[in-house]
A and B are shown apart, each in its own frame.
Chain A
Amino acid sequence: MNERVRGALRSPLTFSVLAGVVVGALFLVGTGADPVAAYTAVLTGSLGPDGIGATLTTATSVLGMALALAVPLRAGLINLGGDGQLVLGGITAAVTGLYVPLPGPLAVALALLAGMAAGAGYAVLAALCETRLGVPLLVSSLLLSYPAVSLASYLARYPLKEPGSSLPQTRALPDGVALASFGGSTVTVGLVLVVLAAAAYWFTDRRTALGYEIRMTGLNSRFSAYAGVERRGLTLKLMSVSGAVAGLVGAVGVLSFPYRFVDGSLTGPGYTWTGLTAALLAAAAPLGTVVASFFFAVLQVGGLAMERTTEVPRELTQVLQAVVIVFLAARLRLPRRRSGRRKEVV
């Protein structure tokens, strides 16, 4: 075993994930369930042939929101307004899709762009609260999220409500205004878009001066300010990208099944918080964020399978996610052995 592998095993990350799994097992035992059977159900239910489609669909939203939150997090900014940016993107895409008389593919492209613009605009509003008015981003983005969710809910329940339906939802988008899906599955081109966004983030982070500035700001904001990074401009830039990605996730959600804006369907599954958890777990590193998002999508979908086969509530997976982050935030790590082993390597 080389030093790198050993280092990875000893890292706080590995410890946190393991601790999460162990705490989850304790909960399972506490409720009288068999942990091995439950975890097996999580894995087979999410990665097996019946579950992989759902996992990839969930991963689309989780990865999207994780990216949206990772981009500012890389510079040490926490955007807690993901829900607001997400639903504004969704409702804007729905309105565009419903009322713009364009052929299908053009309407889809326009709806995606409109969703991104709406999310970006709203996120910039939160950023302006910090840079112009001195209200911390953490608080301004979160507080702004509630009115946005309420507004979208109002629109879906009153002016845009599908006539004759008892559900709080808009009319279905016209035929052809939808993202293409793979085979008969619910996985759409949205997954490709989100993965492309992740690739763009990776490239920016690793290969561009901007990516370097962002990372430096995250590591030491005073030093980077001294070195000439313009903090206000960077905040606005990062938040607009963050909001645009969140808006994209909302638009993708509307342009996929059930092809309309349903009140609560975008915020209900908690993609924003799962995404934030994934971004935190990976310390906003691009590849890590992708891996962590997929891990949490597996947990979320597998949780449903676990609930079906073992009757353990699916909320257990939510507990697991949070436990992993609690351990990570406390920077716990496996104790280093004090034996002479390390000396041999050195």
Chain B
Amino acid sequence: MFFDADLLTSALRALTPILLAALGGALCERAGVFNIGLEGMMLLGCFTSVATCWFTGSPWLGVLAAALASAAYSLILAVGAVTLRGDAVVLGIAMNLLAVGLTSFLLRTVFGVQGTFDDPALAGLPLVGAFTPLAWLAWAAVAVAALLLSRHVWGLRLRGVGEAPEAAATLGVNPAAYRYGAVLLSGVLCGLAGAQLALGNVTLFSQNMTAGRGWIAVVAVMLGRALPVGVLLAALLFGLAEAAGFRLQGLGLPQQATDAAPYVVTLGALFLTTARRRRTRSAPGVVS
């Protein structure tokens, strides 16, 4: 059997980091900040979690440190794009580059290794059932984000800030505060995503280990039209592609083909949804 429970389990494992990061991206999108720095925030989370876990021996402190570090890192985007009104796209690209440089630099200076830091003493996250607690948290976060955005006053105001900042300001809602909140939350979520990737999916840090997952998360935000459940479905698609790729590799397909599979599948899904959306609605989608 090609499609079986194992495949689904590994798909759900693969999707967790994407889902966490994409939820952060969706919040930013709703608040009107285009966040393409997810990749960099995630990568920083990977490194911080591994470094903290190695020095303290506790994966939980690693998770906490990753969330804090990525939130602090996301301040670059908040200050640059919200307060100084800089270009969010350029800032995001720069943050991704900075994270690659910074983590490689720290890998060399802190651990004295190049490429990969892998130590048997490094403790990974424990499993609750078949998944790490962060994976369960990610699914809970989908529900929380969905309720927050559709029911809670904070979420409604956040959407208001994203859709009509002047109108929101007239009603006494401070757009900048909500945007800062969204960006910082995306930082926390990306930090968790990085911790899941480095201490959950594997137990190591390697240079540029996010390998485009942050970009896939950006695409998942577009695919899911910045809706939490939509983002979940988009991330699931990617998880399935990655898991199916591994399975096919076991069946003799070259690694290069399976490496490319998630990106091709994502692109294909993007074609299908945008084509359908354009046929059914002439108005532009949520994502500009």
Residues on A facing B (Cβ under 8 Å): 27, 31, 78, 80, 129, 133-136, 138-140, 142-144, 146-147, 150-151, 153-154, 157-158, 273, 276-277, 280, 313, 315-323, 325-326, 328-332
Partner of B97, one of A134, A158, A273: A273
Q: Are B93 and A325 in contact (CB under 8 A)?
A: yes
Q: Is the CB of B256 within 8 A of A153?
A: yes
A138 partner residues in chain B, CB cutoff 8 A:
36, 89
In contact, B97 and A150 (Cβ under 8 angstroms): no
Is B270 located at the chain interface by the 8 A CB criterion? Answer: yes
Q: How far is the CB of B112 from chain A (nearest CB, A)?
A: 10
User: Which of B105, B212, B274 is within 8 Å of A316, CB to CB?
Assistant: B105
Residues of chain A within 8 A of B98, CB atoms compared: 319, 322-323, 326
Q: Closest chain B residue to A153 by CB distance? A: B256
Asked if A330 contacts B86 (CB within 8 A), the reply is: yes
With A146-B263, A318-B104 as given contacts, are A139 and B219 in contact (CB-CB < 8 Å)?
Answer: yes
Residues of chain A lying within 8 A (CB to CB) of residue B215:
139, 142-143
Q: B79 near A: Cβ within 8 Å?
A: yes
Q: Pick the most buried of B87, B90, B274, B278: most chain A CB atoms within 10 A of its CB.
A: B90
- Mostly, the A contact residues are helix
Q: Of B76, B101, B257, which contacts A319 at CB under 8 A?
A: B101
Chain A minimum-CB-distance residue to B83: A330
| CB-based contact B260/A322 at 8 Å | no
- Interface contacts (Cβ under 8 Å), in number, total 125
Q: B203 at interface (Cβ–Cβ under 8 A)? A: no
Q: Which 5 pairs across A and B sit closest by C-beta, in order of nearness? A: A318-B101, A322-B98, A330-B80, A313-B108, A154-B256
A138–B90 Cα distance when bound, in Å, is: 11
A140, A315, A322: the one contacting B267 at CB < 8 Å is A140
- The size class of the interface chain B forms with chain A is 35 or more
8 additional contacts (CB under 8 A) given A154-B257, A321-B101, A322-B98? A134-B277, A139-B218, A147-B263, A277-B97, A313-B105, A316-B105, A322-B102, A329-B94
With contacts A143-B215, A330-B86 taken as known, whether A129 is within 8 angstroms of B271 at the C-beta atoms is yes
Name the distance in Å between A56's Cβ and chain B's nearest Cβ. Answer: 23
Q: When the two chains form their complex, are residues A151 and B256 in contact, meaning their CB atoms are under 8 A apart?
A: yes
Contacts of B93 in A (CB 8 A): 78, 80, 276, 280, 325
Chain A residue numbers with a CB within 8 Å of B95 are: 322, 326
Q: How far is the CA of A317 from the CA of B87 in the complex (A)?
A: 23
> A146 with B259: in contact, given A158-B254, A326-B91, A331-B86 (CB under 8 Å)?
yes
Q: Which of B89, B104, B256, B257 contacts A78 (CB 8 A)?
A: B89
Bound: A1/B5 CA distance, A: 74
Given contacts A154-B256, A315-B104, A319-B105, contact A135 B267 (CB under 8 A): yes
Closest to A73 in B: B90
Chain A residues with CB under 8 Å of B100's CB are 318, 322
